[in-house]
Amino acid sequence: MPTISDLRSSYQSGDLTPAEAIRSLAENIDSRDKEIGAYLSYDLDAALAEAAEVDLSLPLGGVPIAIKDAINVKGQPCTCGSKLLDQNYTSPYDAGVISKLRAAGAIPFGRTNMDEFAMGSSTENSALQVTRNPWDTSRIPGGSSGGSAAVIAADEAVAALGSDTGGSIRQPAALSGCVGLKPTYGRVSRYGLVAFASSLDQIGPMTRTVEDAALVLQAIAGHDAHDSTCVKDALPDYSSFVGQDIKGLKVGLPKEYFAEGLDAEVKEVVDAAIKQLESLGAEPVEISLPHTEYAVATYYIIATAEASTNLARFDAVRYGRRAESADNLLDQYRQSRAQGFGEEVKRRIILGTYVLSSGYYDAYYLQAQKVRHLIRKDFTEAFEKVDVIASPVSPTPAFKIGEKSQDPMAMYLADVYTLSTNLAGICGMSVPCGFTQGEDGKKLPVGLQLLGKPFAEGDLLKVGHAYEKACDWQKVV
3-state secondary structure of 257: helix
With CA atoms as reference, report the closest residue to 190 among 110, 115, 95, 112: 95
Q: How far is CA 171 from CA 117, 144, 287, 316, 373, in A?
A: 17, 9, 22, 32, 24
Q: How far is CA 106 from CA 13, 71, 150, 286, in A?
A: 18, 15, 20, 41
Beta bridge partners of 427: 452
**Residue 358 burial (CB < 10 Å; 0-12/13-18/19+)?**
exposed
| Beta strands 283-287 and 250-254, pairing class | parallel
H/E stretch holding 277: helix 264-279
Strands (E), 421-472: 427-437, 443-452
155 and 474 in contact (C-beta within 8 Å)?
no
**Side chain identity, residue 183:** P
**Side chain identity, residue 87:** Q
445 and 432 in contact (C-beta within 8 Å)?
yes
Give the pLDDT score at 422: 98
3-state secondary structure of 298: helix
Name the phi and psi angles at 452, rounded to 5. Answer: -130, 170
Q: What is the rounded CA–CA span in Å between residue 35 and residue 271?
A: 34
Q: CA angle, corner 219, sides to 214 and 225, nearest 5?
A: 130
Give the pLDDT score at 370: 98
3-state secondary structure of 131: coil
* Residuewise pLDDT in 10s, the chain (477 residues): 799 999 999 999 999 999 999 999 999 999 999 999 999 999 999 999 999 999 999 999 999 999 999 999 999 999 999 999 998 899 999 999 999 999 999 999 999 999 999 999 999 999 999 999 999 999 999 999 999 999 999 999 999 999 999 999 999 999 999 999 999 999 999 999 999 999 999 999 999 999 999 999 999 999 999 999 999 999 999 999 999 999 999 999 999 999 999 999 999 999 999 999 999 999 999 999 999 999 999 999 999 999 999 999 999 998 899 998 888 999 999 999 999 999 999 999 999 999 999 889 999 999 999 999 999 999 999 999 999 999 999 999 999 999 998 898 989 999 999 999 999 999 999 999 999 987 777 899 999 999 999 999 999 999 999 999 998 765 555
312: left (phi over 0), alpha (psi -120 to 50) or beta: alpha
List active site positions. Answer: 68, 144, 168
Q: What is the rounded CA–CA span in Å between residue 317 and residue 329?
A: 9
Q: What is the CATH number of domain 4-252+382-476?
A: 3.90.1300.10
Q: How far is CA 203 from CA 116, 168, 208, 224, 257, in A?
A: 16, 10, 17, 13, 25
Give the pLDDT score at 475: 56
Say whether pTM exceeds 0.95. Answer: yes
Give the pLDDT score at 318: 87
Give the pLDDT score at 474: 55
301 and 65 in contact (C-beta within 8 Å)?
no
Q: What is the rounded CA–CA span in Å between residue 176 and residue 444?
A: 8
Give the pLDDT score at 165: 98
Q: What is the rounded CA–CA span in Å between residue 431 and residue 170?
A: 9
With CA atoms as reference, report the closest residue to 386 among 471, 447, 467, 460: 460
Q: What is the rounded CA–CA span in Å between residue 219 and residue 230?
A: 15
Give the pLDDT score at 88: 80
DSSP per-residue codes, 391-423: EES-SSSPPBTTSSTT-HHHHHGGGTTTHHHHH
Taking the domains of the chain in order of start, what are their residue ranges?
Answer: 4-252+382-476, 292-369
